[in-house]
Amino acid sequence: MNILITGGGGFLGARLARALLQQGSLAVAGAPAQRIEKLTLTDRVAPPDDLKNDPRVTAVVGDLNDLLASRQVPAAGTTVVFHLAAAVSGECEADFDLGMRSNFAATHALLEACRALGTKPTVVFSSSVAVFGKRPGFAMPDPIEDDTLPTPQSSYGSQKAIGEAMMADYGRKGFIRARTVRLMTVSVRPGRPNGAASSFFSGMIREPLAGVRAQVPVPPETEHPILSPSRTIASLIRCAEATDAEWGPLTGLNLPALRCTVREMAQALERVAGPEATGLLDWQVDPDIMKLVSTWPGHVKSARANALGLHANESFDEVIREYVRENPQAIKLPVR
């Protein structure tokens, strides 16, 4: 089996690659499990050394649009594509053309390339909860369900909604097996902040645990759907393995979400690392970030994902402790 991961050099892409390699095989859409013989990772940057050094991994570095135009990917025989590559929310709002090239044009070109394979590959598209939004003058739908009408209020959300529509039509035409997966905000991410407006949901935990001050740019009562990295990766794999009957006629589903406020996140941080950690939080509203975050839903339900056996984290304490366990070198404060 040959699998392609776009965005394979990033945090989620690299983590997904490691999980697939460790698993060793994949049962696509309920078919008998096949051994993973080749895993192609595309990104603007090379993947981490542990992946580059695995003989099953092929790294193709460059702009995804250029790689698709030159037909370097997807290779003949590609069975599954995990499309994770994207420009993030803050970048798209600041640079409309970047977002359209990275999130619309690249997704369209990838779907055309998959169509050209003629083998109906399974495409797992990472969409976002940002496809839902609070329309001016209207209340936020509460809760957001799998079949709630997308009403994006950001360029990023709009581009992801366009991607969902393209996935649905390419699937309807039989060019691909379409699996659209709406990711919740993944927290806690290690490393440095990225350009996503939601990056502070990781930073307000990651930085204090490292003994560094962090800004919380939204009010404490702000509610947001969260899912840990490990559960996000397990969900992506399960969505590729679900049978067509399990998946059902709808192309997209919401991943499970832990519903919590920013205040509750800070309280969990204090339970895990004490008041020394929460004392490093600077509560200062950033109007630009708040403008985006205020249009995103806080209460998201995931009946279809739950039926696949996928569930949210039990608590944000669990989310923080997962990060602590996986990143001991980054923890400077005593953890209880």
- In a shared domain, residues 28 and 159: yes
The CATH number of whichever domain residue 291 belongs to comes to 3.90.25.10
* Catalytic member of 125, 132, 156, 170: 156
State the Cα–Cα distance between residues 125 and 181, nearest whole angstrom. 6
For the chain, the domain total comes to 2
Backbone angles phi, psi at 186, to 5 degrees: -90, 120
- In a shared domain, residues 109 and 213: no
- Per residue in 266-276, pLDDT (tens digit) is 999 999 999 99
Nearest partner of 75 among 27, 34, 41, judged by Cα: 41
pLDDT of 197 reads 85
State the Cα–Cα distance between residues 303 and 253, nearest whole angstrom. 9
Within-domain flag for 307: no
323 is annotated as an active-site residue: no
pLDDT of 56 reads 98
- In a shared domain, residues 291 and 234: no
- In a shared domain, residues 20 and 125: yes
Structural element, H or E, at residue 314 = none
Within-domain flag for 336: no
Within-domain flag for 166: yes
- In a shared domain, residues 127 and 61: yes
Question: Encoding tokens for residue 82?
Answer: 């995990």
pLDDT at 335 over 80: yes
Within-domain flag for 335: no
Calculate the alpha carbon distances from 247 to 127, 201, 279, 326, 336 in Å: 16, 30, 45, 32, 41
Within-domain flag for 286: yes
- Per residue in 24-78, pLDDT (tens digit) is 999 999 999 999 999 999 999 999 999 999 999 999 999 999 999 999 999 999 9
Within-domain flag for 192: no
DSSP letter at 197 equals: G
- In a shared domain, residues 53 and 160: yes
Nearest partner of 130 among 82, 169, 188, 86, judged by Cα: 86
Confidence of residue 303 (pLDDT cuts 50, 70, 90): very high
- In a shared domain, residues 13 and 68: yes
- In a shared domain, residues 268 and 247: no
Confidence of residue 196 (pLDDT cuts 50, 70, 90): confident
The CATH number of whichever domain residue 10 belongs to comes to 3.40.50.720
- In a shared domain, residues 37 and 21: yes
- In a shared domain, residues 97 and 37: yes
- Per residue in 11-29, pLDDT (tens digit) is 999 999 999 999 999 999 9
DSSP letter at 63 equals: -
E strand segments, 207-276: 214-216, 223-227, 252-254, 258-261
Question: Encoding tokens for residue 83?
Answer: 């499309």
- In a shared domain, residues 247 and 326: no
- Per residue in 207-266, pLDDT (tens digit) is 999 999 999 999 999 999 999 999 999 999 999 999 999 999 999 999 999 999 999 999
pLDDT of 194 reads 81
Collapse the DSSP code of 319 into the 3-class scheme (helix H, G, I; strand E, B; otherwise coil) and give the result. Answer: helix
Residue tagged 């109007």 (tokens): 287
Which range marks the domain in which residue 325 is found? Answer: 197-223+258-298+314-330
